[in-house]
Amino acid sequence: MTERFLSGHALFADRATLESEIRRLGLGLALDSEIRDALRPGAVAGRAVGNRLVVQPMEGCDGTPEGKPDELTFRRWGRFARGGAKVLWGEAVAVRADGRANPRQLLLTRESAPDLARLVDFAREEHRKALGTSDDFLVGIQLTHSGRFSHGRPVVVFHERAFDAATGIAPDHPLLSDDDLDRLQDDYVAAARLAVDAGADFVDLKQCHRYLLSELLAARTRTGKFGGSLENRTRFARDLLGRIRAEVGPEPILATRINAFDGIPFRKDPRTGVGQPVPVDTPYLGAFGVDPRHPTEPDPREPIEAIASMREAGLQWVNVSAGCPYTNPHVGRPADTEPPDGYGMPESGLAGVARHFGLAEAVQRAFPDLPVVGTGYSYLRHFAIEAGEANLRAGRVAFVGLGRGAIAYPDFARDAASGGMARAKACITASFCTTLMRSKGNALGQFATGCVPRDPVYAELLREVRGRGFAGP
C-alpha cells in the first residue's frame, strides 16, 4: 500500500505539526525562528553581498520571439529586485537560437544584448530605490543550451534507453559531434562577454536539470574527448571556465548551477496515479551523481570530484540542484499538486527537501571556502527561511535560495527581516506555474509563467489556458 503523507494544508498549519512530521519521517531538517545569519553580509570572490538570500533562476517564459526581455520580464525582475534578497540569480538565457527551451526563452546575442543590459540596469536601480544601495547586490545571468529539450530540434550528446524513451528521443537520433561542441563553446564565450557588457556581476554555466551541459556530465557511454571518464565529461565546463577568464577578463564571477543528483525517469502508475521509477539496467550509466547499483539513490562523490576540477579551472560559486523537471519532477520540485503532465508524489515532499539539503551540505563540507547556494526551500512555504537559517548556522550552506517561492513571494527577504514570512503570501506548490510553462497553445507558442494563486496577472493567463485546453510539451 502506498504510504500516505500529510497534505501541505495540514503539514504547514503550524510549526508543531511540521516538526512532528519531520521527526516521524526521521529527516535531518531543522527550523530556527530567529532570523539572524540569513540577514548577515556574505562574500563571493571578494565581492560583498548584503545578505545570504538568493532569488533562484526560474524562467518566466515571457521574452519576445527574438529573445529580448518583454514587459512581464521587467515586471518580474523589478519585483525580485525590490524584494530584499541580495542576489538575483538571473534565469536561463540561451547562447544561441537553436538552444532555446521554448520560443519565449531569453536569448543572448548582439541584437538582444542592449535589451538585456536595460533589464540588468533596471533591476539594479529598483533595488537601490527600495533598499538604499545596490553596491552589495549581485545580479547574474545563467547561460544555457537546452540540449534534448530544445523546442525546435532536440540536440543529444549520448543515448540511454530509458531516458531516451522518457524524453521522446529515437534511438537513432544523431549525436552532437566533438567539433559541434567545440563550436558551441565559442558561443558560450561570446555570450559571457555580452553578459559582462550588459552589467552582469556573475555568469552561471548551467549544468543542471539535464539540459545540454548537465547531460554531458552523465555521458559515460559517449566516445571521444567529451565522454567516458569524468575528466572527459567535465572537459567542456573546465575548458569553458578557462576561456572565459582568459578571453573575457577578470570581471565576471564564474558560477555554476549544477546537478549533484540526476536520478532516473519516473512515470505515473496508471492504477494509483503515483510516480514510480522506470525499469533501468544496472549498473546504471545514464545519470550523474547516482549510485550505479541503486540509481534512485544519490552518490555525491563524482559531483564533488567534478566541482574540484572546475575550481582548479576558475569556478568561484556553486548553486546545487537536482533532478530533471521533465522526467522526475518530484526530485527537483517537491509539490503537493502535480502538473497536468506529472504524477503523484512517491514520497513526502519533506524527503525531497532533505535530499536537497543533504546534497548541498555534502558539497559545502567538501569545500568549506567555496560559497554554496542551497536549493529546495520553496516547498517549506512560510517556514523556508527558518530552515535556511538553521542550515546557515550549522554550516551546511553559505546562501539560501528560493525559486518557485520567490515567484510567489518576491518580497520574502524583506518580510523575513521584519517579523517573518507570511503564510498568506508563500508558495503553496500547486504547480500552476508549471502548468503555464507547459502550455503552448497561443500565437507565441508559449504562455508566460508565474504564480496563479498570488498574482492576478497569471491567474488570468491560467483561465485563458483552460479556455483553450491544455497543450503539453
Structurally, at CATH architecture level, domain 29-422 sits in: Alpha-Beta Barrel (3.20)
Q: Look at residue 470 in the predicted model and tell me its pLDDT.
A: 57
Residues β-bridged to residue 298: 290
Sign of CA dihedral 339, 352, 394, 295: negative
Q: Is the CB of residue 56 less than 8 Å from the CB of residue 406? A: yes
> Buried (b) or exposed (e) across 19-55, using 16+ Cβ within 10 A?
eebbeebebebbbbeebebbbeebebeeeebbbbbbb
pTM of this prediction exceeds 0.95: yes
pLDDT at 280 over 80: yes
User: Across the chain, what does the average pLDDT equal?
Assistant: 96
Q: Is the CB of residue 380 less than 8 Å from the CB of residue 353? A: yes
Length of the chain, in residues: 473
Own/partner pairs for 175-184, CB < 8 Å, 24+ apart? 175/222, 177/224, 178/224, 178/225, 178/226, 181/157, 181/226, 181/236, 184/95, 184/96, 184/145, 184/212
The residues spanned by each domain of the chain are 29-422
Residues 473 and 452: their CA atoms lie apart, in Å, by 20
Q: What is the pLDDT of residues 48-106, one digit of tens each?
A: 999 999 999 999 999 999 999 999 999 999 999 999 999 999 999 999 999 999 999 99
pLDDT at 339 over 90: no
- Enumerate residues 6+ apart whose C-beta is below 8 A from 463: none
Confidence of residue 467 (pLDDT cuts 50, 70, 90): confident
Mapped onto helix, strand or coil, the DSSP state of residue 156 is strand
Residue 329: name the closest of 316, 314, 339 by CA. Answer: 339
Q: Is the CB of residue 350 less than 8 Å from the CB of residue 21? A: yes
Q: Could you give the angle at the alpha carbon of 341 between the alpha carbons of 12 and 173, nearest 5°? A: 135
Q: What is the pLDDT of residues 182-223, one digit of tens each?
A: 999 999 999 999 999 999 999 999 999 999 999 999 999 999
Residues β-bridged to residue 402: 55
Confidence of residue 471 (pLDDT cuts 50, 70, 90): very low
